[in-house]
Amino acid sequence: MALGLARVTGLSMVPYLAPGDVVLVRYGSSFAVNDVVLIDQGERTEIKRVTRIEGSHVFVHGDNAEVSHDSRQYGALTSSQVIATVKWRLPQSLRFLANLGSSH
């Protein structure tokens, strides 16, 4: 399973993740309720927390409910839309490494 870096750009995961944070993700890994994941939303990817799994349907929420656009608005995702699991937030001193990854 491949590893990658993603830079947080939005406010939906505050206070857990903030804009500018860089996270290490593992593509194709399994996930469970409460995991923070990278999801495929067609033209963009987003970082959200898994709140419920029902068969092949996955519900995700941002930690900052006031600004997050998530399953509360668009409903369940398919499990294939969960493309990676967040494994670690890089310390500020290593954020320059995000130039090798992509923004989410």
pLDDT digits (tens, 9 = 90+) for 17-36: 999 999 999 999 999 999 99
Fold of 3-91: Umud Fragment, subunit A (2.10.109)
Closest C-alpha among 69, 68, 12, 60 to residue 37:
60
What are the residue ranges spanned by the domains of the chain?
A: 3-91
CA distance 73 to 29: 26
40: pLDDT confidence band, cut at 50, 70 and 90? very high
Under the banding of pLDDT at 50, 70 and 90, the label for residue 103 is very low
Phi, psi of 87 (to 5 degrees): -105, -30
Whether 66 shows a pLDDT value over 90: the answer reads yes
